[in-house]
Copies of this chain bind each other. A is one copy, B any other.
Amino acid sequence: MKKIGILTSGGDAPGMNAAVRAVALRALDEGLEVYGINYGYAGLVAGDIFQLTRQVLADKIARGGTFLYSARYPEFAKVEGQLKGIEQLKKFGIDALVVVGGDGSYHGALRLTEHGYNAVGLPGTIDNDIPYTDFTIGFDTALSTAVDAIDKIRDTATSHQRVFVVEVMGRGAGDLALWAGVATGAEAIVVPERDYDIDAIAKKLTEYREAGHDNAVIVIAEGVMSAQDFKAELDKHGDFDSRATTIGHVQRGGSPTARDRVLASKMGNYAVELLLAGKGGLAIGIENNQITHHPMEELFDEKHHADLDLYDMNNKFNQ
């Protein structure tokens, strides 16, 4: 192995740049050449590929987004698309690949491995919805952004004695809502992994108000319903001075937190070690604070499990 490539795929996540940098720096240290592939699989097929030097990487660790860009490219699901990508790999002499993205992007990586080009996957998504990893690259930053926003909203909720329903991202997963809810002292958390009881929530808010605790924040995962819809439901159950707000796309951007940068660095470093050992088709994770790997096929059959202890704990805090 003399040359490796790296691309980012799927929704961008803070820390992707830190991951790319780590892969590149470790690979350079091992005497490899490293190539950045722009626009994910689309750029691979198009040959939008350039050499990564220490100079290019100098200011990347603190940057949000992905300087390699990302793009959707469903055509890579077909053999035809894959073969075009492989042509480019041949052309540039690239022997192996690191892919940073959601588990959707692992399918392409697995196909390349099967074609003889070892590819390793790093979990890059703010949603924390990938199996066999406790945390994904980008989750901590999105969480930090959501918490910062909810803290601000709490100021207004308190000043005006209001109930705010705040929608956070996470696609089908409740992780962002669980962590952000606990971290902001949310009076209720609503996640796809658990049924919610609107009567119980309304009753609790009413009791709180009668006890003089007259503001509240409900954090809801986008995977359940919109903040607007939940507010509409809530309003049927009591005369709350409620507001709905959606934190939105800001959760995807911003300079990565220290945690995300360190996680990305460790994972990128480990990816190169796996490739050096001649391995491919593996997805990297962090489990119980250790960097681990699993065959990509295993991920396709498994579901991510949110930490529902947080849910139960928060309920106890709000009896």
Contacts and interface: CB of A to CB of B under 8 A. Distances in A.
A246 interface: yes
Interface stretch (A104-112, A194-202, A253-261): A253-261
Given A156-B65, A252-B156, A316 B269 contact: yes
A64 B155 contact: yes
A66 B159 contact: yes
A179 interface: yes
Contacts of A65: 155-156, 158-159
A317 interface: yes
A54 interface: yes
A161 interface: yes
Scoring A59, A258, A290 by chain B CB atoms within 10 A of each residue's CB, the highest score goes to: A258
Given A62-B184, A160-B12, A269-B316, A245 B249 contact: yes
A151 interface: yes
Interface in A49-77: 54-55, 58-59, 61-66, 69-71
Given A25-B317, A182-B265, A258 B144 contact: yes
Contacts of A14: 155
B155 A262 contact: no
B213 A55 contact: yes
Interface string A89-101: 0000000000000
B213 A152 contact: no
Contacts of A63: 155
A305 interface: no
A59 to B, nearest CB: 7
B160 A255 contact: no
A163 to B, nearest CB: 12
Interface in A264-304: 265-266, 269, 287-290
Interface of A: 8, 11-12, 14, 21-22, 25-26, 28-29, 54-55, 58-59, 61-66, 69-71, 134, 140, 143-147, 149, 151-156, 158-161, 164, 179-180, 182-185, 211-213, 243, 245-250, 252-255, 257-259, 261-262, 265-266, 269, 287-290, 309-310, 313, 316-319
Report, nearest first, the 4 A-B pairs whose CB atoms are least far apart: A152-B253, A155-B253, A65-B155, A64-B155
11 contacts: A12-B156, A25-B317, A55-B212, A64-B152, A152-B249, A156-B249, A243-B249, A246-B246, A247-B248, A265-B317, A269-B317
